[in-house]
Structure 1
Amino acid sequence: MKIDLLTREYPPHIYGGAGVHVEELSKVLAERAEVTVRAFDGPRKPDEIPDVANGSLRVVGYDVPSELAHDNLALQTFGIDLQMANDVEADIVHAHTWYACLAGRLAQQLHEIPLVVTAHSLEPFRPWKREQLGGGYNLSSWAERDAFTHADRVIAVSNGMKQDILTAYPAIDPAKICVVHNGITIADFSMPGPDDPGWKVFDRYHIDRSKPTLLFVGRVTRQKGLPYLLKAIHLISKDIQVVLCAGASDTKELGDEVRADFAQLQRERGNIIWIEEMLPRPELNALEHGCDAFICPSIYEPLGIVNLEAMACGLPVVASATGGIPEVVLDGVTGYLIPIEQEHDGSGTPIHPDDFVRDMAAAIDKLMADPQRAKEMGEAGYRRARDEFSWERIADETMDVYRQVLS
């Protein structure tokens, strides 16, 4: 079987969970079939392509056409999509995120092959993307809707995402939607040795390893709920050191808003560190192993691969009870879930934001006040990530989806 995976992100250019998903999925699929990944950000060097057992993984990178270099991001995206669609040579094409939806839909028609799309997020539930894309949000929404409604199969990364798909696109036959969770390669998150250079991140950012430390990892985007977390930090014990590993702001305005809130926290509370750069994996791994708990305050999260990564490092997790998160984080077992009642207008805005913030702060304090219980939750989370979310299982389930379509 020949499979073309179409994606915005792929090593070494990864900034979110969808990119991690495609990277790991491509490696395990390449042990079962011939896989070509078509990605943004230009051609890859040989040493930037992941190794697989039988070497049947090819990566083709594309640049934005020079004529579109200064145009709206959506038009730049479509310029790459046209190139991808033209080059597809496969039995089946599998598109990830709206960035590759147009390429997948065009390839389906041009080459008369089946189309599978994976829903990592949905444009109707991310209206804040208009801040980034302007009128291009209308184009990204159209491309996603057209691909999803014409796909031969839609893969949802959680049961929560399946329900969101049916809400956003009721024309889709529910029988065409398959749930295949995101996964984790547990070996990639082992404890670094004492001389591992990744530990230097603590010295570089003056993080005190003797203090109880709460960690946030995520992009500065509305869906990650960072502004609510910053409000909650005002309410938690001042003995808790907070590390925010938060970069890649969606817009300058949002970045400025977060920067102002952070500066206020520094003045009034202190004991908080903001890492704005996207850390290399060894440093992020050391950071997760060196902290005591993980916080995920998202208001929109189809599954939450960051929670899986934290659990793989043995961290207990405090997370919003939204989207697919409750399918990963077990309340009272691997951490605590924060109740959240949300608007149904697509924004996911908390209906009672003050309650959401207070409940978040209370859950953080409860977890950090009992180190032994937190340790036990972290161990339970590790076992859950290892046993329930392996990429080998996910590859087999994905191959089953392909076979259904081709038969």
Structure 2
Amino acid sequence: MGVIVICEGLGSGGAVANVAWQQALGLSRHQAVCLISDGLTRERRQQLASSQMQLRLRLLQIPNLSSLRRFAHLPRQLLWILLALRETHRELKNPPATVICHSHPLAAAVAWWFGPRVRLLMISHGDIFHRPPGSYDPAVSWLYRRTTGYAHRRAAVSVALSPVMAERIQAHGVPPERIALIPNGLDPPEIGLKEPSITLEEHWQQKPLRLLFVGRLDPVKGVDILLKALAQTRQAGFEILLDLLGEGTPFYERELVTQISQLGLSKVVTWHGPQPRSSLAEHYRICHVVVVPSLDDPLPTVILEAMACGRPVLASSVGGISFLVHDGVSGLLIPPANPHALAEAMARVDRDRSTTASLGEGAQMLSHQFSWDSNVKALEQLITPSAG
């Protein structure tokens, strides 16, 4: 049985694209895999050229719709789906095949078009129903609302990244036996971590406390909450610095710049912009604590990265975060959208550096539970109908 992996965006550094890439590579060690996307980064091209994997690449050319400006999102999404369906049809010369989709609209289209000719696995990276209003383009939101439930009900198996995501999938009418809990993994070299790092006691005692945020600058990521909390700690007399890694829309970036200025944080917040994934380990090494103040998040990759580097995490108790962060063991969980609670947690890790160091050790110990090897092995069990 052949395997087809379909995911948009492998020409960029997004978290979903990285999951699809790692899974395609891992599966291709033992069987032929066709990967369909709309681009590929230079780093991934080099990785593919130097590997001995049974991986065929099919890159689709999506027409440039920039002339439509803000109305381009839905037409581009529909074009991507149509072209992906056409390429999948070409690949299905010797059915049956397992098709692994990484978006709900695409999975719904595959299920509707090919029916029983394929065994559909739906990798659920989240859902639109638990995101704050305005998180997505309204037209794209409509598309996801119309297709999410259908995609899950028609899939042979829906893959949840965390127990919370499994519950959300089940709410669409999917029986538990057709839901598989398979969290994402991390291979330390992805972020430039050559070997497990040992953090010296001197690092934890360094002043001032340095916080790190890594991710997309987006309202759902709670960066505005983080800035408000930082301002409160500064007003309380704590000397704390913040490094921001990532980018967002020009409009939201301007909002954050204005907020930083109005809160008097210009001298304590450093905005590094987007960084190559292979350089992230150095940023984790420098910081003391990683902050994930999301309003919703199925399984943040940044937490896996922080854990691998031995850094404790201050995170909102939403989505799949509590599946990763063990409160008081590898980090601290706080109520979402609560700047005061976040400020108190920030003050706590600054006051008690020995506890902060202990949380970092706990995070690194837990990190070994999440690897791409275990992720791919679990996926392989779902490839054939007889498994599972």
**TM-score scaled by structure 2?**
0.86
- CA offset at residue 49 of structure 1? 4.9
Work out which of the residue numbers 39, 57, 60 in structure 1 matches 2:58.
60
**Taking structure 1 as reference, are residues 179 and 222 closer, same or farther at Cα in structure 2, changes over 3 Å only?**
same
Work out which of the residue numbers 97, 106, 117 in structure 2 matches 1:100.
106
- CA offset at residue 114 of structure 1? 1.3
Work out which of the residue numbers 179, 182, 186 in structure 1 matches 2:181.
179
- Measure, in 1, the Cα distance between the counterparts of 2:121 and 2:160: 11
Please, which runs of 5 or more residues in structure 2 have no aligned partner?
A: 196-205
Provide the secondary structure at the position in 2 that maps to 1:247: coil
- Measure, in 2, the Cα distance between the counterparts of 1:35 and 1:296: 35
CA displacement 1:103-157 (0-9 Å, x = unmatched): 5335533x811111011010222253x4642323212322333322211110000
Work out which of the residue numbers 294, 298, 304 in structure 2 matches 1:298.
294
- CA offset at residue 375 of structure 1? 2.0
Aligned to 1:221: 218
- Measure, in 2, the Cα distance between the counterparts of 1:281 and 1:337: 26
Provide the secondary structure at the position in 1 that maps to 2:299: coil
Work out which of the residue numbers 270, 279, 289 in structure 1 matches 2:275.
279
**Taking structure 1 as reference, are residues 46 and 233 closer, same or farther at Cα in structure 2, changes over 3 Å only?**
closer
Work out which of the residue numbers 399, 403, 406 in structure 1 matches 2:380.
399
- CA offset at residue 102 of structure 1? 4.7
Work out which of the residue numbers 348, 351, 354 in structure 2 matches 1:372.
354
Q: Is the 8 A contact 2:160 2:181 kept in 1?
A: yes
Letter in 1 for 2:9: E
Q: Is the 8 A contact 2:124 2:160 kept in 1?
A: yes
Aligned Cα RMSD in Å?
A: 2.7
- CA offset at residue 188 of structure 1? 3.4
CA displacement 1:178-213 (0-9 Å, x = unmatched): 1111111134346579xxxxxxxxxxxxxxx96421
Provide the secondary structure at the position in 2 that maps to 1:273: strand
Aligned to 1:75: 75
- Measure, in 2, the Cα distance between the counterparts of 1:363 and 1:223: 20
Q: Is the 8 A contact 2:314 2:333 kept in 1?
A: yes
Q: Is the 8 A contact 1:92 1:113 kept in 2?
A: yes
- Measure, in 2, the Cα distance between the counterparts of 1:152 and 1:260: 48
- Measure, in 2, the Cα distance between the counterparts of 1:51 and 1:375: 41
**TM-score scaled by structure 1?**
0.82
Q: Is the 8 A contact 2:190 2:277 kept in 1?
A: no
Q: Is the 8 A contact 1:219 1:248 kept in 2?
A: yes
Work out which of the residue numbers 18, 22, 41 in structure 1 matches 2:20.
22
Calculate percent identity across the aligned residue pairs: 23
Provide the secondary structure at the position in 2 that maps to 1:140: helix
Please, which runs of 5 or more residues in structure 1 have no aligned partner?
A: 194-208, 341-352
- Measure, in 1, the Cα distance between the counterparts of 2:80 and 2:271: 34
Work out which of the residue numbers 133, 136, 139 in structure 1 matches 2:140.
136
Q: Is the 8 A contact 1:42 1:63 kept in 2?
A: no
- Measure, in 2, the Cα distance between the counterparts of 1:120 and 1:319: 19
**Taking structure 1 as reference, are residues 216 and 405 closer, same or farther at Cα in structure 2, changes over 3 Å only?**
farther
Work out which of the residue numbers 149, 169, 174 in structure 2 matches 1:145.
149
Provide the secondary structure at the position in 1 that maps to 2:385: helix
Indicate yes or no: 2:334 matched with 1:338. yes
Letter in 2 for 1:370: D
